[in-house]
Structure 1
């Protein structure tokens, strides 16, 4: 297979490489938390980066998705020219039982409290 026909593959940590502090760092940003919340509501669907309505520039959006991918929170794959994103819920639930659900519930409660 030549370089021109070789599919693009992004680096992801294996399940064993995912670290709690990396996941918590990734979830500590409001924009990234919004991305994860939207993905959780999509229930396992692969979503394109353009699906998300985010108040940031394209380069900042790219940065946020990279942080989520490198921490092991999401998986990104290319399908043709589209980069699709999926929440690594099974990996996160196996490694840190209840963490993702707790964070998402707290996010919902905060949104309701602040009316954001």
Structure 2
């Protein structure tokens, strides 16, 4: 049975924490891949696409930092982790931030 991993509420988002999470190149590459792609997606697929050459523990750490900053939601389904960018929540709290840092989303609805 799927279970959502803990994440901060929109009201508790901290700009310093969000920017710090996005400042690290590996996390920014993961977020860019998520932001520009289709969602929800298995986190392993994103890692393959981004081809970062990082160890599994490092990648797990990056996903945890992104989740704890409020940038992504993660649902555990057995050994799989399905991730989704918290676009609406981020836009409500920090309008335009994700687009400014990560670029225009390629799969935007017309």
TM-score normalised to the size of structure 1? 0.78
Name structure 1 gaps, 5 residues minimum: 1-5, 106-116
RMSD of equivalent CA atoms: 1.8
**For the residues of structure 1 that align with 2:52 and 2:83, how far apart are their CA atoms?**
15
- Please identify runs of 4+ aligned residues in structure 1 that moved more than 4 A: none
**For the residues of structure 2 that align with 1:77 and 1:86, how far apart are their CA atoms?**
9
**Contact in 1 for aligned 2:34/2:84 (Cα 8 Å):** yes
**For the residues of structure 1 that align with 2:35 and 2:2, how far apart are their CA atoms?**
27
The number of equivalent residue pairs is 100
TM-score normalised to the size of structure 2? 0.82
CA-to-aligned-CA distance 1:23-56 (integer Å, 9 cap, x gap): 001100111111111111114x111121123220
1:49 matched to which residue of 2? 43
